Amino acid sequence: MPPAADTLRRTPLHDRHRDAGARLVPYAGWEMPVQYEGIRPEHVAVRTRAGVFDVSHMGEIETRGPGAERFLQRVLSNDVTKIAERGAQYSVLCREDGGVLDDLFTYRLGPDRFLTVTNASNHDKDLAWFRRQAEGLDVEVVDAHADWAMLAVQGPGARAALEHEASGELPPRMRTADLSVAGVDCLVCGTGYTGEDGAELMIPPDGAETVWDALLGRGVEPVGLGARDTLRLEVCFHLYGNDLSEERNPVEAGLSWCCKLDTGFVGSEALRGVEPEQALVPFAFTGPGIPRPGNPVATEHGSGVVTSGSLSPCLETGIGMAYVPVAANEPGSPIEVDVRGKVRAAEVRDKPLYRAKG
Amino acid sequence: MAESYPEDLKYHPEHDWARVEGDEAVFGITWYAQDALGEVVFFDPPTVGSQLTKDEVYAEVESVKAVSDVFAPLSGEILEVNEALAEGPEKINHDPYGDGWLVKVRLSDPAEVDVLLDVTAYRDLLQSG
């Protein structure tokens, strides 16, 4: 049973969402805006103009101290030594057996200081894992979730809107900068989850409304978590809980590129020599219907399962991601998706399903 | 469109309506149902000639993120489906009692109409919900 509304956590922008006519729903223990005007118009706003998402439910873990880099190199799958100061990096957090605990962005704020963004539903689990792995190392692991509100500003017009409000030059992609935005000191990160240009802002919670109001004043449109999901699916970004889980390893999820086995991270031994039977592939329907998570998949080489599915507002067809037998993972391969008893025709596609025009 | 519940319709507690004329009826979903679902992007119509049973699911409407079952308010045989929804499923949002109708049915037991809700009872149900 979902928790009652009064036990759900609220972001500092809760009143703003209510004022903007948001439909608020429980999500990972938070009361979050799933949509304002509607998923499709909000999706189109981000693809063609600029949108702002309140993603303050996402967690942050700060890691600092002389052993911080060594520690993160041990827990994160990617090569943490390659993150430049003010740089950003994507990685997964693995169990010893290679199962995925979370997927994360880590920012290097200083030589011995890092900020890692967690998925809301995994934050407590990640924090406990970090602390356990940090035992005996000269590193401090700090729960920074309450220190930050987080806004994602995305779309071809996102940078221009932000530039009007920022005290200095915005960071390029995969870099960060300390800037004042609308007079509020923020950590501005050149990252996002939509395939569009833009930035993510880490904001002190008491400044979140000021930044939000300033962005809306620049014509940036509020966008809910519904469109966040359709936007990320069109560009084939993984969603933890759908496409990633503790029962799946990063190799079958197509994330080998961010798993540097030679760094010796937790899980790397298990992943060495893994020859997965399945692979996560994007697909699109060639006829009517909309795939949904859990739909069974049939291929010439055996069965699979849909992990993410939706209507694509840009492609105007059903799209999704599915685990299928490795032999069926070639783009163009026909597959069939059983949508509540109706067999729908689809084909495996290349990533991304939609390429941003920017 | 603004929230409305026409007085000439009969309502089913699963948020479906029926416009009954003799032994035929047109079915659709109510303003409340389309609002809860959000923008409808896909309607998968049943086959003309198929049999519907009162209180059972006969179709689905889908928004970008969700699937909603559509329940038959009355029993009967499908005479016609709203073909215009294939190209314009958003008609269900814009005009749920007009252009957004779903199916036309020949009723097999017109007496079933008596147990459906009138507009007052349906509004009471929404308020108690």
pLDDT digits (tens, 9 = 90+) for B16-30: 999 999 999 999 999
In chain A, which residue's Cα lies nearest the Cα of B36?
A23
User: How close A31 comes to chain B (CA, Å)?
Assistant: 17
Residue A183 predicted with pLDDT over 70: yes
In chain A, which residue's Cα lies nearest the Cα of B43?
A289
| CB < 8 Å to A310, chain B | 64-65
Looking at residue A273, what is its pLDDT? Answer: 87
Name which of A39, A230, A310 is nearest B38 (Cβ-Cβ): A39
Looking at residue A357, what is its pLDDT? Answer: 77
Interchain CB distance below 8 Å, B42 and A40: no
Interchain CB distance below 8 Å, B42 and A226: no
Average pLDDT on A321-336 reads 96
Instruction: Name the burial class of residue B6, with classes exposed (0-12), middle (13-18) and buried (19+) by CB atoms within 10 angstroms of its CB.
Output: middle
Q: Which of B37, B40, B64, B83 to mutate to test the interface with A (most CBs of A within 10 A)?
A: B64
Contact A249, A274 (CB under 8 A): yes
Residue A4 predicted with pLDDT over 70: no
In chain B, which residue's Cα lies nearest the Cα of A226?
B65
Percent of chain A scored above 90 by pLDDT?
97
| Superfamily holding A59-146 | Aminomethyltransferase beta-barrel domains (3.30.70.1400)
Looking at residue A1, what is its pLDDT? Answer: 47
Measured distance between the N- and C-terminal CA atoms of chain A, rounded to whole angstroms: 43
A25 Cβ under 8 Å from any chain B Cβ: no
| CB < 8 Å to B63, chain A | 39
| CB < 8 Å to B46, chain A | none
Q: Which residue has the tokens 């994160």?
A: A76
Query: Which of A204, A194, A203 minimizes the C-alpha distance to A158?
Result: A194
| CB < 8 Å to A232, chain B | none
Contact A184, A151 (CB under 8 A): no
- pLDDT confidence band for A6 (50 / 70 / 90): low
User: How close A111 comes to chain B (CA, Å)?
Assistant: 43
Name which of B44, B62, B64 is nearest A40 (Cβ-Cβ): B64
Looking at residue B107, what is its pLDDT? Answer: 97
What CA–CA distance (Å, rounded) separates A254 from A256? Answer: 6
Phi-psi region of B108 (alpha: psi -120 to 50; beta: other; left: phi over 0): alpha
Residues of B within an 8 Å Cβ radius of A = 38-39, 41-42, 44, 60, 62-65, 67
Looking at residue B119, what is its pLDDT? Answer: 97
Residues of chain A with CATH 3.30.1360.120: 5-56+148-234
| CB < 8 Å to B44, chain A | 288-289, 342
Looking at residue B1, what is its pLDDT? Answer: 79
Instruction: Name the burial class of residue A247, with classes exposed (0-12), middle (13-18) and buried (19+) by CB atoms within 10 angstroms of its CB.
Output: exposed
Q: Which of A232, A234, A290 to mutate to test the interface with B (most CBs of B within 10 A)?
A: A290
Question: Per-domain residue ranges for chain B?
Answer: 11-122
Average pLDDT on A108-131 reads 97
Phi-psi region of A264 (alpha: psi -120 to 50; beta: other; left: phi over 0): left
CATH fold for domain A5-56+148-234: Gyrase A; domain 2 (3.30.1360)
Q: Does the domain made of A277-348 have the CATH classification 2.40.30.110? A: yes
| CB < 8 Å to B42, chain A | 288-290, 311
Q: Which residues is A151 bridged to in the sheet? A: A54, A201
User: How close A38 comes to chain B (CA, Å)?
Assistant: 7
Strands A221-222 and A51-54: parallel
pLDDT in tens, A185-240: 999 999 999 999 999 999 999 999 999 999 999 999 999 999 999 999 999 999 99
- pLDDT confidence band for A356 (50 / 70 / 90): confident
* pLDDT in 10s for each residue of chain B, 129 residues: 789 999 999 999 999 999 999 999 999 999 999 999 999 999 988 999 999 999 999 999 999 988 999 999 999 999 999 999 998 999 999 999 999 999 999 999 999 999 999 999 999 999 987
For chain A, where are the alpha helices, taking DSSP H only?
14-19, 39-48, 68-75, 123-134, 158-165, 208-217, 225-234, 268-271
Residue A5 predicted with pLDDT over 50: yes
pTM above 0.90?
yes
pLDDT in tens, A20-67: 999 999 999 999 999 999 999 999 999 999 999 999 999 999 999 999
| CB < 8 Å to A289, chain B | 42, 44
pLDDT in tens, A121-159: 999 999 999 999 999 999 999 999 999 999 999 999 999
Average pLDDT on A345-350 reads 98
- pLDDT confidence band for A2 (50 / 70 / 90): low
Q: Which class does domain B11-122 fall in?
A: mainly beta
